């Protein structure tokens, strides 16, 4: 389950524009089903909110992000992002996030999960600001048909430092940040989309916060859309916020563009000033991690002179998947999409064959493939053995 929660740090005037962008641009969701390593470069802008102390600022941004998931839902993610201020108002900034999620199950009925992340942020002058926070979220998940009922807890702790400089005068402040709470959540799955509605009650140093949230995530043809609306009832009043992220492929499987934008949450662990932010980054997937799940080839049945082998590769992002190997004279054989996987049956005579997949034109052998062996040229082939009698599998 990869619906991320927001973690953050205090943002005050001066550093606020930068941290808003850092929050918006940090790793949020994987582009690949099993995770990937990707680099992103682009531009971003923090908008001044009416009546606030925040100044608008523009940045060149760049980041490196990685995430890795197993079929059972355990995974880790991390990333670094930074911004170079293009005007004198904003300061150069950098951020990192490290996190993970572990899942355990009690039969089919209940799933227990715990996720956590550590987030760090620093912005240079004119207003020096640093923050480090950690957040943990335990969940009990109860699948009911296409829905999942979730009861979650939420706890966060952190601290921030800010320095005010006026020629020879420097004043530094340190602030402890914390919140804890929880609530119910309902997730509904429709094919390649998921909607989420939740309520949260959070206790903080600044009083009690109520949070209602509605979120939609959907993927199609290599694109991903995520949109969130939140309504906050805080000691300072009621506020509606939201954010969106749209990722689209750019002329190939590994290049993509990501547009983010939104209005700042009054999250008690963020305590940011009201404002908006937006950015556009161009990304390149450097490594695509493969499935660790079902073996990609099984022998279905005996045929005259051999067997029928079924090749299957799970990949919901790819536009085209082909299989090729000794059995096809190394000619790519187009596979057919079947739900979340690509499949193809091929008749094979008895023998030992090397093979692999072309995912959007790039060589790929999943981790679960049997008989992985070097091809002598820097890549790996998988192997299928078809027994002489062909009736054993």
Please tell me the distance from the alpha carbon of residue 300 to that of residue 348, in angstroms, as a whole number: 11
| Position among 194, 202, 318, 359 found at the interface with another protein (CB under 8 A) | 194
Region of 43-51, 200-208, 261-269, 365-373 interacting with another protein (CB under 8 A)? 365-373
Q: Is 93 in the site for another protein (CB under 8 A)?
A: no
Query: Tokens 């005010």 appear where?
Result: 164
Is 202:212 a contact under the CB 8 Å cutoff? no
Nearest CB to another protein, comparing residues 26 and 141? 141
Q: Is 340 in the site for another protein (CB under 8 A)?
A: yes
Q: At closest approach, how far in Å is the CB of 67 from another protein?
A: 9
Q: At closest approach, how far in Å is the CB of 43 from another protein?
A: 26
Q: At closest approach, how far in Å is the CB of 299 from another protein?
A: 8
Q: Is 388 in the site for another protein (CB under 8 A)?
A: yes
Q: Is 108 in the site for another protein (CB under 8 A)?
A: yes
Burial class for 290, CB neighbours closer than 10 Å (0-12, 13-18, 19+): buried
Verify cis geometry, omega within 30 degrees of 0, for the bond prior to 126: yes
Q: At closest approach, how far in Å is the CB of 392 from another protein?
A: 4
Q: Which of residues 161-180 bind another protein (CB under 8 A)?
A: none
Q: Considering CB under 8 A, how many residues would be counted as binding another protein?
A: 83
Q: Which of residues 241-300 bind another protein (CB under 8 A)?
A: 292-295
**CA atoms 158, 164, 168, 169: torsion sign:** negative
Burial class for 109, CB neighbours closer than 10 Å (0-12, 13-18, 19+): exposed
The helices-and-strands tally (H runs, E runs) of the chain is: 1, 24
Q: Which of residues 298-317 bind another protein (CB under 8 A)?
A: 308, 314, 316
Please tell me the distance from the alpha carbon of residue 145 to that of residue 186, in angstroms, as a whole number: 12
Please tell me the distance from the alpha carbon of residue 366 to that of residue 333, in angstroms, as a whole number: 17
Nearest CB to another protein, comparing residues 89 and 218? 218
Nearest CB to another protein, comparing residues 189 and 255? 189
| Position among 157, 192, 203, 210 found at the interface with another protein (CB under 8 A) | 192
**Which one, of 305, 246, 244, 236, lies nearest residue 271 by Cα?**
236
Q: At closest approach, how far in Å is the CB of 202 from another protein?
A: 26
Q: Is 208 in the site for another protein (CB under 8 A)?
A: no
Nearest CB to another protein, comparing residues 203 and 337? 337
**Which one, of 209, 213, 201, lies nearest residue 270 by Cα?**
209
Q: Is 379 in the site for another protein (CB under 8 A)?
A: yes
Q: At closest approach, how far in Å is the CB of 71 from another protein?
A: 5
Give the number of other CB atoms < 10 A from CB of residue 354.
Answer: 19
Per-residue x/- marks for another protein, 124-153, CB under 8 A?
-----------------x-x----x-----
Structure tokens belonging to residue 106:
């009690």
Per-residue x/- marks for another protein, 56-85, CB under 8 A?
-------------xxxxx------------
Structure tokens belonging to residue 56:
């608008």
Contacts of 239 (CB under 8 A, 6+ apart): 231, 232, 266, 274
Q: Is 343 in the site for another protein (CB under 8 A)?
A: yes
Is 97:118 a contact under the CB 8 Å cutoff? yes
**Which one, of 155, 96, 92, 84, lies nearest residue 120 by Cα?**
96
Nearest CB to another protein, comparing residues 176 and 375? 375
Q: Is 328 in the site for another protein (CB under 8 A)?
A: yes
């Amino acid at each position: 389950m990869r619906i991320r929660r927001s973690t953050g740090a205090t943002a005050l005037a001066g550093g606020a524009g930068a941290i808003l962008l850092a929050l918006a641009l940090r790793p949020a969701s994987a582009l690949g089903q099993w995770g990937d390593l990707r680099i992103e470069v682009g531009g971003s802008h923090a908008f001044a909110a009416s009546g606030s102390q925040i100044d608008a600022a523009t940045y060149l941004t760049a980041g490196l992000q990685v995430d890795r998931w197993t079929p059972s839902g355990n995974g880790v993610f991390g990333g670094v992002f930074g911004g170079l201020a293009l005007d004198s108002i904003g300061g150069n900034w950098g951020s990192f996030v490290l996190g993970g999620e572990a899942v355990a199950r009690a039969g089919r009925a209940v799933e227990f999960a715990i996720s956590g992340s550590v987030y760090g942020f620093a912005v240079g002058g004119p207003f020096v600001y640093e923050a480090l926070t950690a957040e943990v979220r335990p969940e009990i998940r109860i699948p009911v048909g296409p829905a999942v009922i979730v009861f979650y807890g939420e706890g966060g702790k952190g601290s921030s430092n800010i320095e005010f400089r006026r020629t020879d005068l420097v004043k530094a402040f340190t602030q402890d940040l914390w919140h804890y709470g929880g609530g119910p959540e309902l997730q509904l799955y429709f094919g390649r989309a998921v909607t989420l509605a939740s309520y949260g009650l959070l206790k903080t140093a600044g009083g009690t916060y109520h949070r209602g949230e509605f979120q939609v995530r959907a993927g199609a043809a290599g694109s991903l859309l995520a949109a969130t609306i939140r309504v906050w009832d805080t000691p300072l009043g009621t506020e509606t916020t939201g954010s969106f992220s749209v990722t689209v492929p750019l002329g190939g499987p590994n290049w993509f563009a990501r547009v983010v934008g939104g209005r700042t949450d009054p999250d008690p662990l963020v305590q940011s000033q009201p404002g908006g932010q937006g950015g556009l980054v161009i990304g390149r997937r450097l490594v695509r991690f493969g499935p660790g799940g079902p073996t990609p080839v099984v022998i279905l049945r005996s045929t005259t002179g051999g067997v029928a082998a079924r090749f299957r590769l799970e990949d919901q992002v790819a536009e085209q998947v082909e299989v090729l190997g000794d059995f096809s004279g190394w000619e790519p054989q187009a596979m057919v999409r079947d739900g979340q996987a690509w499949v193809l049956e091929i008749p094979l005579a008895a023998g030992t064959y090397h093979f692999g997949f072309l995912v959007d034109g790039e060589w790929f052998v999943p981790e679960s493939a049997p008989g992985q062996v070097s091809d002598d040229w820097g890549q790996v082939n998988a192997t299928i053995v078809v027994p002489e009698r062909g009736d054993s599998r």
